[in-house]
Structure 1
Amino acid sequence: MPHLYIIAGEVSGDTHGSGLIKELLALDPALKISGLGGPRMVEAAGKGIDDWVETAGVVGLWEVLKMYGYFKKRFNATVAAVMQQRPDAVVLVDYPGFNLRVAKELRAQGYTGKIIYYISPQVWAWKKGRVKTMAKVLDLMICIFPFEKEFYEKSGLPTEFSGHPMVDRVETLRRNWEREPGLVGWFPGSRKNEVKRLFPIMLQASQAIRMVQPNVRFAVSAANENLAGLMREMADAAAFPEAKRWIEVGTVYDLMQRAQVGAVASGTATLEAACFGLPYALVYQVNGLTYAVAKTVVRIKNIGIINVLAQRDVVKELVQGGLTSDTLAAEMVELLTNEVTRRNLQEDLAEVVATLGQGGAYRRAAETVMAVL
Structure 2
Amino acid sequence: MKLLVCAMEASSNVHLKELKKYLNEDIELVGVFDKELGNPLYDLTSLAIMGFVDALKKLRFFFQLRDELVSLAKDCDKVLLMDSSGFNLPLAKKLRVTYPNKEIIYYILPQAWAWKKGRVKKLETYCSKLCSIIPFESEIYNDKNKITYVGHPLLDEIREFKTQFLETNKIAFMPGSRKTEITNLMPIFKELVKKIPNKEYILIIPAKFDDSYIKKIYGDISEFSISRNTHETLKEAEYAFICSGTATLEAALIGTPFTLSYIAKKFDFFIGKMFVKLNFVGLANIFFEKMGKKPLHSEFLQEDVNVENLLNDYKNLDKKLFFENSKFLREYLKNGSSQNVARIIQN
Query: Aligned partners of 2:223 and 2:52: how far apart in 1?
Result: 36
- What is the alpha-carbon distance in structure 1 between the residues aligned to residue 200 and residue 257 of structure 2? 16
Query: Judging changes above 3 Å, is the alpha-carbon distance between structure 1 residues 201 and 301 closer, same or farther for their aligned structure 2 residues?
Result: same
Shift of 1:14: 1.1
Distance 1:113 1:195 in 2: 43
Q: In the alignment, residue 198 of structure 2 is paired with which amino acid?
A: N
> Which residue of structure 2 lines up, in the alignment, with residue 98 of structure 1?
87
SS of the counterpart of 2:335?
coil
Q: Deviations over 1:120-179 (max 9, x none)?
A: 221100122321122111111101122123433x355611121112223222x5588974
Residue in structure 1 matched with residue 328 of structure 2 by the alignment: 351
2:252 corresponds to which residue?
Answer: 274
User: What is the match of residue 52 of structure 1?
Assistant: 44
Aligned AA (1:263)? F
Q: Any gaps of 5 or more consecutive residues in structure 1?
A: 336-340
Identity of matched residues, %? 26
Give the corresponding residue for 1:159. Answer: 147
Partner of 1:302: 280
Question: Could you state the TM-score of these two structures normalised by the residue count of structure 1?
Answer: 0.82
**1:277–1:349 Cα contact (<8 Å) kept:** yes
**Residues 349 and 187 (structure 1), Cα distance of their counterparts in 2 relative to 1, 3 Å cut:** same
CA distance in 2, matches of 1:177, 1:74: 51
What residue number does 1:365 align with? 341
**Per-residue CA shift, 1:316-357, capped at 9, x if unaligned?**
11223332233223322334xxxxx11112222221121112
Letter in 2 for 1:258: E
Aligned pair in 2 of structure 1 residues 81, 225: CA closer, same or farther (>3 Å)?
Answer: closer
The whole-number CA distance in structure 1 between the counterparts of 2:167 and 2:223 is 17
1:123-134 counterparts in 2 under 5 A?
Answer: 123-134=112-123
Provide the rounded CA distance (Å) in 1 between the counterparts of 2:208 and 2:44. 19
Match of 2:60 in 1: 73
Summarize the alignment of residues 1-373 of structure 1 with structure 2, pairs less than 5 Å apart: 2-24=1-23, 27=24, 29-38=25-34, 42-44=35-37, 46-52=38-44, 55-56=47-48, 63-85=50-72, 86=74, 87-108=76-97, 112-152=101-141, 154-155=142-143, 158-171=146-159, 173=160, 179-207=166-194, 210=195, 213-224=196-207, 226=209, 229-233=212-216, 236=219, 241=220, 243-311=221-289, 312-335=294-317, 341-359=318-336, 361-371=337-347
Distance in 1 of aligned mates of 2:30 and 2:253: 32
Alignment check: 8 A CA contact 1:4 1:34 kept:
yes
CA RMSD of aligned residues (A): 2.6
Q: Is the 2:108–2:133 Cα contact (8 Å) retained in structure 1?
A: yes
Whole-angstrom distance in 1 between the partners of 2:192 and 2:46: 30
Letter in 1 for 2:311: A
> Given the superposition, is the C-alpha separation of residues 177 and 15 from structure 1 closer, same or farther in structure 2, using an over 3 Å criterion?
same
Paired residue total = 341
Structure 1 letter corresponding to 2:113: W
d(CA) in 1 for partners of 2:90 and 2:31? 16
- CA displacement 1:242-272 (0-9 Å, x = unmatched): x325131313222201211111222221111
Distance in 2, Cα, partners of 1:254 & 1:30:
34
CA shift at 1:305, angstroms?
Answer: 0.8
Alignment partners' CA distance in 2, 1:151 and 1:142? 14
Query: Given residue 64 of structure 2, which amino acid in structure 1 is its aligned partner?
Result: A
In structure 1, give the amino acid aligned to 2:132: C
| Structure 1 residues 43 and 195: alpha-carbon distance in aligned structure 2, compared to 1, 3 A threshold | same
Given that 2:114 and 2:276 are in contact with CA atoms closer than 8 Å, whether structure 1 keeps it comes out as yes
How many Å separate the matches in 1 of 2:263 and 2:100? Answer: 39
